[in-house]
Amino acid sequence: MSTPTRPTFQPQRRGGGFSRFLRHLQTVALIGTTLVIAYWFWSGGKPNPFGQAPPPTPTFTPESAQNVELATVASVQRQQLIAAKLKQRQVIAAFDELARDLREWEKEIAAWQRVGPTILSGEDGKKLAADEVLVRQARTILKGERPGAEAITAAKKQAEELIFPIRESLSNAEDASSPSDFATTTFRELQSQARNAREQYRQAREGLSVLLAQAPAAGQVTLGQAIASLDREEIRKRFATIEAAESKAREDGVKLVAEEKAKLIQTEKDAEAQKLRDETAKKKQASDMAAAKSVEEMEYKQKEAAQEIDRLRDVAELKRQGLLITGSVWKGSLYQNSDYECTLTIASRVKDDVQVTLKRNKPGDGGGTYSYSGKIKGNTIRLSEQGSTEVDLEATLNPSAQAITGKINKLPPTTFSLRLHKDE
């Protein structure tokens, strides 16, 4: 028993199976003709069999019905065999097309190997190295990702495993197995991959040719050296950018820490001063109460001391609030597609809880007045509109400049810049 051979990606002659099939048909026809002639001689060699009386009509028997059924089955099987052989040949034709495209792919890789790698150290590469723009373009072409010989090997192996049983079926004249569509689909996918890869190598070669046509006279530096120098320079710039960003982040961090320390020191000083004022008021209250000569005088002195303490606390609170106190008015401009005037008034402030109104004098539509409420923390203002849970207005106070700058978090983007308004 002979061992089946593996398929090869060498060009195959088409139609071999079909020729064998025709030869089988010719043999059957010859045998049938011989049998007819022998029957004619055996029956007496009558010269005109058509002049005889028609033969009697055959009687229907179960044996004749069985013969008809067998003939029908044989006809169906022949049709199935013909259809299967046709599909087998179609799959092999697809395989042959794939083999041709794989060979073209291999040719393009070989052509690229004669141009691409050698240009890095050759005279043509020195021409490109004389122009930095051409060096960058050549580097892009040379470093492009393109499937190589290992991809061709994998495609061949996969195609060979699929075509082997189909070739064996076609070589057997009685094999009516129909190949699945998976083989044809796979061959088409591999063919598309081969054509795309072939085009990538061809375009790379043509790209280098175009660049060489634009290149100046050759210098002393090779293209490989120019690309390496360009890579080093880009790496150095990236590191410089990273280092500058890190340095700025460190400087911003130090500055922020210093500002927070200054705020903490000032808060501690204000708290200590308030404590001293409270203690002084209590001592004065105790002294006044001790000196009172009657209950009425003691009650009066106690009430007076309480009022003084409240006054001192109010003064301290106003000092803590600074410029952002109840009734302060800030005027300036607001930008929303165009500049127009606006006025911000602090309607009320209780400790850090604040309510403000913002009046916008927008030309054309008359503007409007809007109410906000929220918190003031240090020099930072964060407010929301009535009924809103989101921060709709954010601003920052600059005490030395007596100015407020901020934004309104609504579309379209709106910013504003205000200064403390003092009545003349």
Mean pLDDT across the stretch 132-142? 90
Copy the structure tokens of residue 343.
């006025």
362, pLDDT greater than 80: no
Report yes or no: 9 and 156 within 8 Å, Cβ to Cβ.
yes
Select from 236, 274, 267, 421 the least CA-distant residue to 342.
Answer: 421
pLDDT of residue 45: 46
pLDDT of residue 310: 86
The CATH number corresponding to 329-421 among 1.10.10.60, 2.60.40.790, 2.40.128.620, 1.20.1260.10 equals 2.40.128.620
- Percent of the chain beyond pLDDT 70? 80
3, pLDDT greater than 60: no
What is 16-28 written as a DSSP string? HHHHHHHHHHHHH
pLDDT band at 54 (very low <50, low <70, confident <90, very high): low
Can you give the residue ranges of every domain in the chain? Answer: 63-214, 249-321, 329-421
What average pLDDT is seen over the chain? 81
Report yes or no: 166 and 92 within 8 Å, Cβ to Cβ.
yes
Report yes or no: 388 and 397 within 8 Å, Cβ to Cβ.
no
pLDDT tens string 21-50: 556 566 666 666 666 665 655 555 444 444
pLDDT of residue 36: 61
Residue 218: C-alpha distances to residues 129, 215, 224, 320 (Å): 8, 8, 14, 76
DSSP annotation of 203:
H
Lowest mean pLDDT among 109-118, 285-294, 313-322, 385-394: 285-294
Q: Which position has the token pair 């061992």?
A: 3
Copy the structure tokens of residue 135.
């060096």
Select from 416, 321, 324, 422 the least CA-distant residue to 370.
Answer: 416
In three-state secondary structure terms, 344 is strand
Mean pLDDT across the stretch 111-119? 88
Mean pLDDT across the stretch 62-69? 63
Q: Which amino acid is at 7?
A: P
Report yes or no: 18 and 88 within 8 Å, Cβ to Cβ.
no
Report yes or no: 347 and 356 within 8 Å, Cβ to Cβ.
yes
pLDDT of residue 395: 94
- Give Dmax over CA atoms of the chain in angstroms: 173
pLDDT of residue 55: 53
What is 251-290 written as a DSSP string? HHHHHHHHHHHHHHHHHHHHHHHHHHHHHHHHHHHHHHHH
pLDDT of residue 15: 46
Asked if omega into 412 is within 30° of 0 (cis), the reply is: yes
In three-state secondary structure terms, 54 is coil
Mean pLDDT across the stretch 1-5? 44
CA dist., res. 46 & res. 32, Å (int): 19
pLDDT tens string 156-210: 999 988 888 888 888 888 888 888 888 889 989 999 999 999 999 999 999 989 9
pLDDT band at 289 (very low <50, low <70, confident <90, very high): low
pLDDT tens string 230-275: 889 889 988 888 988 988 898 888 888 888 888 888 888 888 888 8
- Percent of the chain beyond pLDDT 90? 23
Q: pTM for this structure?
A: 0.43
Mean pLDDT across the stretch 102-114? 92
CA 281, distance to chain mean position in Å, is 69
In three-state secondary structure terms, 159 is helix
pLDDT of residue 355: 93
52, pLDDT greater than 70: no
pLDDT of residue 382: 93
Residue 33: exposed, middle, or buried by beta-carbon count in 10 A (0-12, 13-18, 19+)? Answer: exposed
385, pLDDT greater than 60: yes
pLDDT of residue 2: 43
pLDDT tens string 322-361: 888 999 999 998 887 778 888 999 999 998 999 999 888 7
Report strand pairing: 403-408 vs 393-398: antiparallel
Report strand pairing: 393-398 vs 380-385: antiparallel
In three-state secondary structure terms, 378 is coil
Instruction: Tell me the β-bridge partners of 332.
Output: 342, 418
pLDDT of residue 374: 92
CA dist., res. 415 & res. 57, Å (int): 110
